[in-house]
Structure 1
């Protein structure tokens, strides 16, 4: 199988690529989790986050925004002591603020609607011949990043946002030689 070039040889990475990355996600909470995890990934490799994902889910109470939005300094300190996650104060504090911002958007229009409006509800189908062609960010991710920041989000720059929307399936960035390209296109 000629998978995308970023996929390593570890089973967890292969499984993520083959079953999740690029599959259109419509659940608001799941979309928020993907954005938060991509924020934690900033400066690190995705495999690091992927290996810690279950620890993150446990530490962040299933990424329940209603719970996290009410956290304060005590919870931040507890998380900073958790070796199973990325212990970065700024990213942890941003997750709390992002939960608060998420709740406002979810109430106003739905977080899923907020994100999916950037592609008019239909995933963009890119046709990259090689990994070298895939951009780190796009004008759309720059707009989305700016709009998320205006809503109170942090750790959501254009590159982080683009990685998240790839994972969320708002764009199909599997290279055309990857079998998942056609599979994800069919889900659109």
Structure 2
């Protein structure tokens, strides 16, 4: 974590509990976009994502389809992967369905940690897993409901980012 953007993200956002549906959807989108890339790449494009995806307005995104992909690629600084871009529209529709079913995206997603942060006791980065039983269950749950780019590793990174799990190492001042 040598880049100032990564340090700022780690110190001010990563691992802090998020319960806002819009922000949760943003993180699902960003974690899916990150697959196969560095987190720094995605952080640098975060403003482009917010602009391209209408500040994560689920109702507006749910109205879009694959026909919007090319204009997003041409106009915005996002990862230029057509499948990842198109998944945001179908994921928005799936997120709206979860809101209907559970009352909020927050309730649907935080159920995997019983509504409270799992605080891990890692002392070394090598101890932090890439996935857990909870992230595997979340991935299955989301895929079954039509989400894309939500594999178990992506779900675990999402859980870390949104404070569902606290994986700051024991010696980290942000813990």
Residue number in structure 1 paired with 2:121: 127
Q: Per-residue displacement from partner, 1:96-125 (whole Å, max 9, x unpaired)?
A: 110000000012211100111111111000
* Superposition RMSD in Å: 0.9
Deviation at residue 80 of structure 1 after TM alignment = 2.3
Deviation at residue 74 of structure 1 after TM alignment = 2.9
1:65 to 58, 81, 88: 58
Give unpaired runs (5+ residues) of structure 1: 1-7, 182-188
Structure 2: distance between partners of 1:108 and 1:63? 20
| Secondary structure of 1:175 counterpart | coil
- Bigger relative contact order, structure 1 or 2 (CA pairs below 8 A, ≥6 apart): 1
| Secondary structure of 1:179 counterpart | coil
TM-score, normalization by structure 2:
0.97
Deviation at residue 72 of structure 1 after TM alignment = 2.1
Matched, 1:115 2:96: no
TM-score, normalization by structure 1:
0.90
Residue number in structure 2 paired with 1:174: 168
Matched, 1:84 2:77: yes
Deviation at residue 9 of structure 1 after TM alignment = 1.9
1:75 to 29, 46, 68: 68
Structure 2: distance between partners of 1:32 and 1:105? 12
Q: Relative to structure 1, is the Cα distance of residues 70 and 126 closer, same or farther in structure 2, using a 3 angstrom cutoff?
A: same
Give unpaired runs (5+ residues) of structure 2: none
Do the aligned partners of 2:122 and 2:167 also contact (CA within 8 Å) in 1? yes
Deviation at residue 177 of structure 1 after TM alignment = 0.7
2:144 to 150, 156, 160: 150
- Stretches (4+) displaced over 6 A: none
